[in-house]
Amino acid sequence: MGKLDGRVVLITGAARGQGEQEARLFVAEGARVVIADVLDDQGEALAKELGARYVHLDVSQEADWHAAVAAAGSAYGRIDGLVNNAGILRFNELVSTPLDEFQQIVQVNQVGVFLGIKTVAPEITAAGGGTIVNTASYAGLTGMAYVGAYTATKHAIVGLTRVAALELAGRKIRVNAVCPGAIDTAMSNPSQLDPAANTEETAQALDELYSKLVPLGRIGQPEEVAKLALFLTGEDSSYITGQPFVIDGGWLAGVSVI
Ligand code: NAD
pLDDT for res 222: 98
* Structure confidence by residue, pLDDT tens digits, 132-182: 999 999 999 999 999 999 999 999 999 999 999 999 999 999 999 999 999
Distance CA 56, CA 47 (A): 12
On the question of pLDDT at 98 being above 90, the answer is yes
* Section 191-198 average pLDDT: 89
Measured distance CA(3)–CA(10) in Å, rounded:
16
Full-prediction pTM beyond 0.75? Answer: yes
Could you tell me if the CB of 20 is within 6 A of ligand 1?
no
Q: Whose CA is nearest to atom 19 of ligand 1?
A: 58
The response to whether residue 88 sits with its C-beta less than 6 Å from ligand 1 reads yes
Apex 146 CA angle, 155 and 187, nearest 5:
75
Q: Is the minimum distance from the CB of 175 to ligand 1 under 6 angstroms?
A: no
CA atoms within 13 A on the CB side of 55: 24
pLDDT tens for each residue of 113-143: 999 999 999 999 999 999 999 999 999 999 9
54, 76, 138, 150: which is the annotated catalytic residue? 150
H helices present in 88-190, as ranges: 99-105, 112-126, 148-168
CA distance linking residue 226 with residue 102, whole number of Å = 28
Chain-centroid distance of CA 172 in Å reads 21
pLDDT tens for 4-47 read: 999 999 999 999 999 999 999 999 999 999 999 999 999 999 99
What is residue 11's predicted lDDT score, i.e. its pLDDT? Answer: 99
- Euclidean distance between CA atoms 241 and 8, whole angstroms: 19
C-alpha 252/C-alpha 165 separation (Å) is 24
Measured CA distances, 217 to 144, 182, 205 (Å): 19, 11, 13
54 is catalytic: no
Closest by CA position to 224, among listed 190, 189, 185? 185
- Ligand 1 lined by 221 (C-beta under 6 Å): no
What was the pLDDT predicted at 132? 99
What is the rounded CA–CA span in Å between residue 37 and residue 22? 13
Q: Give me the pLDDT at residue 256, please.
A: 85
Q: pLDDT exceeding 70 applies to what percent of the chain?
A: 100
